[in-house]
């Protein structure tokens, strides 16, 4: 109890009133973890996934063998892509595909976008990106710029917030080919204004590629409605696909046939089994494929997509807002006396599903928390991210986790080494 508030009791009352509380039973939990506050890095596995994986070994793989390709595996990248699009992205069928990692898909989409733009207008040699974007996004863009002799324009956002429409308007010009931004900032959790920023980029003649890694499955997305050109996202965070689960890519229908991805593999060909002498890309979303699809890696996320579909993204988002709001309130009461500062938006309308807190001792604090079975995420130089996956996280976990942070920050806290980094 702190300042007269019994945080455990408040959390218990919120859990009792939570209309999505029953979904927590669908996830694998262990007694070793007291509070899992890192769902924005790796989602918990689902109990149903055990049966799905075992059933796949004994059934489609073990029994059907190579016949599985004719019985569903060939269609899996687009079939599952359509499910992600319908359940989470606000995307009509035929525009989303599951394949490769986020990094590889980013490279494919960035190259496809700038090549198409430069081919149509040779003067469009600029890419706009922000300095606080996730390293993969920045590294990929730097590599493509070096390959193609392009210019990078860097937006420098407030690290506690994110990129604003005004900053994008100041950065784009008639020379801009592509704008690459994250929908939810991986540090602060700020939600970017997709509609306004996409419109500004289009007014300048640029395409927009949105990184959805920290929003898909926790924040509502409307790609078609907002006229987004391209998007990419991972599936091991809020879609609970497991470590190394394949990513997805979205390419708006209007760009099919115009944008051509650079990694030409047989699975992206118009006729995969023609064994043709020359590459002819598929005229639809399948052209984003290169090699053999990761069929086994696609299995776990199906269970999470089914849960999200049943609950509905509006309800998932409401739970996310409630969890992060409770975390902010508890952090103000329990942690601010130790000098902890909120580094995420207070306005829930522009806050994703994680809350970032700053304190100079958080590297050591996080290591100690991990030993206690409280698992948040550390981000250099001194940020602790509290990632709250709406369907698997309880209010009780939030209360227990932040209470543990307060205990470790007290004068009794031990010194320790830093934890391993996570994405």
Residues with active-site annotation: 134, 211, 236-237, 385
- Residue with structure tokens 């204004």? 193
Instruction: Report the chain's C-alpha Rg in angstroms.
Output: 22
Q: Are strands 377-379 and 126-130 parallel, antiparallel or unpaired?
A: unpaired
Nearest by Cα to 388 from 11, 10, 9? 11
Q: Is 112 helix (H, G, I), strand (E, B) or coil?
A: helix
Residue 161, SS3 per DSSP: coil
Phi, psi for residue 252 in degrees, rounded to 5: -55, 140
The pair of structure tokens assigned to 190 is 């700020």
CA 380 to chain centre: 19
Task: Map residue 109 onto helix, strand or coil.
Answer: helix
Question: Taking a C-beta distance cutoff of 8 angstroms, is the pair 80, 60 a contact?
Answer: no
Q: Which of 416, 346, 324, 322 is nearest to 378 (CA)?
A: 416
Which pair of tokens denotes residue 245? 């689960």
Strand duo 230-233 + 35-36: pairing: unpaired
Closest CA to 238 of 41, 397, 36: 41
Cis amide bond preceding 381, omega within 30: yes
How far is residue 321's CA from residue 220's CA, in Å, rounded to a whole number?
12
All residues at 6 or more sequence positions from 217 whose CB lies less than 8 Å from its CB, including other chains = 88, 237, 238, 239, 240, 304, 308, 316, 389
Helix (H, G, I), strand (E, B) or coil at 200: helix
Q: Would you say 318 and 227 are in contact if contact means Cβ atoms under 8 Å apart?
A: no
């Amino acid at each position: 109890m702190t300042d007269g508030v019994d945080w455990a009791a408040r959390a218990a009352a919120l859990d009792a009133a939570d209309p999505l509380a029953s979904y927590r039973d669908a996830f694998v939990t262990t007694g070793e973890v007291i509070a899992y506050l890192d769902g924005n890095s790796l989602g918990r596995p689902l109990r149903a996934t055990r049966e799905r994986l075992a059933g796949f070994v004994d059934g489609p793989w073990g029994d059907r063998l190579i016949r599985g390709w004719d019985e569903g595996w060939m269609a899996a990248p687009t079939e599952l892509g359509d499910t992600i699009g319908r359940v989470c992205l606000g995307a009509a069928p035929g525009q989303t595909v599951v394949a490769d990692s986020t990094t590889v898909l980013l490279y494919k989409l960035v190259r496809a976008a700038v090549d198409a733009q430069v081919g149509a207008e040779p003067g469009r040699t600029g890419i706009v990106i922000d300095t606080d974007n996730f390293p993969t996004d920045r590294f990929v863009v730097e590599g493509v710029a070096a390959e193609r002799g392009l210019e990078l324009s860097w937006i420098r956002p407030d690290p506690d917030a994110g990129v604003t429409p005004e900053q994008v308007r100041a950065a784009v010009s008639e020379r801009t080919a592509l704008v690459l931004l994250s929908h939810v900032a991986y540090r602060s959790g700020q939600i970017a204004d997709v509609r306004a920023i996409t419109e500004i980029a289009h007014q300048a003649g640029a395409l927009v590629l949105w990184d959805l890694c920290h929003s898909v499955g926790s924040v509502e997305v409307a790609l078609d409605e907002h006229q987004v050109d391209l998007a990419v996202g991972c599936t091991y965070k809020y879609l609970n696909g497991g470590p190394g689960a394949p990513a997805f890519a979205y390419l708006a229908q209007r760009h099919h046939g115009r944008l051509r991805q650079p990694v030409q593999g047989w699975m992206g060909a118009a006729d995969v089994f023609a064994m043709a002498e020359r590459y002819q890309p598929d005229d639809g979303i399948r052209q984003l494929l290169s090699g053999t699809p990761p069929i086994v890696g696609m299995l776990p996320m199906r269970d999470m997509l089914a849960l999200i579909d049943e609950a509905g993204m509006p309800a998932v988002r409401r739970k996310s807002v409630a969890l992060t709001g409770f975390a902010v309130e508890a952090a103000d009461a329990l942690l601010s006396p130790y000098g902890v500062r909120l580094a995420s938006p207070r306005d829930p309308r522009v806050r994703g599903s994680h809350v970032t807190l700053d304190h100079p001792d958080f590297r050591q604090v996080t290591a100690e928390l991990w030993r206690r079975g409280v698992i948040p995420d550390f981000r250099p130089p001194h940020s602790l991210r509290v990632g709250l996956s709406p369907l698997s996280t309880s209010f009780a976990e939030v209360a227990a986790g932040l209470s543990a942070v307060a205990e470790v920050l007290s004068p009794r806290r031990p010194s320790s080494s830093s934890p391993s980094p996570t994405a």
